Structure 1
């Protein structure tokens, strides 16, 4: 009888402990569920197409289709394992291979392969606002995959896009750091060139990737010339990238010639150690028929620059242009040091490769 009482007493005393343990476990489980729900909660954002998009925050599997711009932005935010696809051009960038060597490409930014995108099971696709994707948008919506469209290379939209992406990724501090870097260096340039009178400004021939293909105000590539205090000699062009004649350039007589390149057109960028290809391209430009009478050629002010320097950090590209346009106004500015600082802060890497010729 006494033994039964002892057993009963043990059971009675144990009940509160078991209940407490159950409640504690239940509380932890609820807390874990709430934390998981918070960390992957959905939010509604407005992208650069003006669309309201419901996105997971933060997304766990992102297909970055915005060329090099979208992918470099994701990398600058510190993402690696979350990136599950990229555009074909980004796949060719040697520096990106340091971070996402095995991530597949899913076609061109303008025409991605929808089946390949679905095969990597993304929960968000980050694509250009520059293009429209009616078919892909419909398919992604049917699979509950968010399509967010941003460019990251249009100055007027840069801050808003970076801040919006920072909110989606729950990395607002990094967004503000990216914006602050750009503001600091762009304002440094603007404060000086804004004092120039029209007659003091250099006249610039900005050539795109193709020979004799100029840049006009219809192309964002035109903007840095203005931001750095220059005058685009083909600012009156009615098309985005007009093909001009050698004679037209001679007639307009630029003070500076800037040739934009990518690694597709001329060996350049990360990992390249020999500037011979850029030097040869510069020599070809300076020896075009009749161009020896152009001021830029006579004074040796012909420069080759990889647009990798622009990408999502236009302050770097602009630093080179401003230095070339007005070396006397920027005697202490070293564009390569600015680029090195950006890479170290946001990518955790050093500046390696050939991006400009001749180096300033």
Structure 2
């Protein structure tokens, strides 16, 4: 139970950070003078306009972050473009300016499994010198990448001494825990190490976070491929769901891992999943994640039930081939007292979906949900095939796993 509770806390911490939208973004790197999504010669031209007085200064114009805007900033922009800069100043996920020595060669990521998986997907696993212990213990898809790396404790409370011994240039962390890590930041800074809170799993900032790290690692092309993958599948979901009339959106009971625990407005599980995937929450009158009255659920008669699960709750996720445990949990869910009365059970619309499919590719997870709610809209889309493509393209491994029940091919 202790392990399960800890995993739930970790999942809650990351899911609460998730929002939506794959739109144009501003690259939060100093030197992006014209405030678009890249640093190129247009920024040098724009910077010259600032110096000449024809353009207004922008937040990111001070490329070398020395408090002045002058010809040295143009020189820094040219160095960034050529990949020869000696340091790079970014805005982290909290909005702090952080100056990082370049090239970036030594990274500790304490951002659960999401951080290490992103570095591996960027092709920068050789830069990782330490990771959160959770990633080593619970990320089977990363076994071949992390097997020789030391664990440095938890995401919220890492082992500071272990980190200092590794002598990283940066410690990458979740934004969610930043306010709890003032002591960690102070200790690292005094040792010449930068704490960089930057979430890769938040769709509304995914493109900026991925491309920012792409610049830090000199992996801009790889970062763009990750962004393009996400945008492509999120666009498919958005384009199809927007054609739905309100009466075509099913009434959904969303269960957050535990029996009769639902996620209403104000929770990431609801706000960033159901509206985007074309579902209406039968508990849209509650706030956040709460336990509900089983009788009230039956009265509200959902047309679909979507239960989120995690690997510690039931044997599932990457590397799993035995569907027995997840099938058993689904049967237990369906056979609850009085559930034979609800339409979701009568019509076999009860789905278990693993949030392991979320990670730093929210589009994959959302495609599972969108397809189960609207199989007719997504009859040409196979979420498992999309996930297989992601694993092959970005981790170079085969897709083996159990992420949903029933199997999406039956939806």
TM-score, structure 2 length as denominator? Answer: 0.76
Does 2:97 correspond to 1:52?
A: yes
The residue aligned with 2:106 is 61
Question: Any conservation in 1 of the 2:124–2:217 contact (CA below 8 Å)?
Answer: no
The residue aligned with 1:104 is 150
Distance in 2, matches of 1:39 and 1:61, equals 18
Output one character per residue of 1:122-155: Cα deviation in whole Å (capped at 9) or x when no partner. Answer: 1111100111211101101101111111122222
The residue aligned with 2:387 is 339
The residue aligned with 1:84 is 129
Output one character per residue of 1:19-71: Cα deviation in whole Å (capped at 9) or x when no partner. Answer: xxxxxxxxxxxxxxx9xxx6572111001111111113342111111112111
- In the TM superposition, residue 270 of structure 1 has moved relative to its aligned partner by 1.6
- CA RMSD, 1 decimal: 1.9
Indicate the SS of the match to 1:242. strand
Does 2:257 correspond to 1:212?
A: no
Indicate the SS of the match to 1:155. coil
Distance in 2, matches of 1:235 and 1:46, equals 36
Number of residue pairs aligned between Structure 1 and Structure 2: 325
Query: Paired residue for 2:277, among 228, 242, 254?
Result: 228
Residues 216 and 57 of structure 1: CA distance in aligned 2, closer, same or farther (over 3 Å): farther
Question: Any conservation in 2 of the 1:253–1:294 contact (CA below 8 Å)?
Answer: yes
Output one character per residue of 1:192-235: Cα deviation in whole Å (capped at 9) or x when no partner. Answer: 11011112111222212222221233332221221111112233
Query: Paired residue for 2:363, among 282, 302, 315?
Result: 315
Indicate the SS of the match to 1:346. helix
Distance in 2, matches of 1:230 and 1:57, equals 46
Output one character per residue of 1:70-103: Cα deviation in whole Å (capped at 9) or x when no partner. Answer: 1111110012221112123212211111111021
The residue aligned with 2:172 is 126
Distance in 1, matches of 2:214 and 2:254, equals 33
Question: Any conservation in 2 of the 1:43–1:168 contact (CA below 8 Å)?
Answer: yes
Distance in 2, matches of 1:231 and 1:58, equals 48
Distance in 1, matches of 2:226 and 2:177, equals 25
Query: Paired residue for 1:287, among 332, 335, 352?
Result: 335
Question: Any conservation in 1 of the 2:250–2:304 contact (CA below 8 Å)?
Answer: yes
Residues 164 and 217 of structure 1: CA distance in aligned 2, closer, same or farther (over 3 Å): farther
Does 2:159 correspond to 1:113?
A: yes
Distance in 1, matches of 2:265 and 2:112, equals 22
Could you tell me which runs of 5 or more consecutive residues in structure 1 were left unpaired when the two chains were aligned. 1-33
The residue aligned with 1:24 is none
Residues 123 and 294 of structure 1: CA distance in aligned 2, closer, same or farther (over 3 Å): same
Indicate the SS of the match to 1:126. strand
Residues 135 and 313 of structure 1: CA distance in aligned 2, closer, same or farther (over 3 Å): same
Question: Any conservation in 1 of the 2:121–2:395 contact (CA below 8 Å)?
Answer: yes
TM-score, structure 1 length as denominator? Answer: 0.86
Output one character per residue of 1:317-350: Cα deviation in whole Å (capped at 9) or x when no partner. Answer: 1111111111111111111111111111111111
Residues 282 and 181 of structure 1: CA distance in aligned 2, closer, same or farther (over 3 Å): same
Tell me which structure has the larger Cα radius of gyration.
Answer: 1
Distance in 1, matches of 2:307 and 2:97, equals 39
The residue aligned with 1:19 is none
1:1-360 to structure 2, matched below 5 A, reads: 41-91=86-136, 92-132=138-178, 133-222=181-270, 223-238=272-287, 240-360=288-408
Distance in 2, matches of 1:279 and 1:100, equals 31
Output one character per residue of 1:259-289: Cα deviation in whole Å (capped at 9) or x when no partner. Answer: 1122111111122110111001101110111
Residues 71 and 135 of structure 1: CA distance in aligned 2, closer, same or farther (over 3 Å): same
Could you tell me which runs of 5 or more consecutive residues in structure 2 were left unpaired when the two chains were aligned. 1-78
Moved more, 163-172 or 277-286: 163-172
Distance in 2, matches of 1:297 and 1:56, equals 57
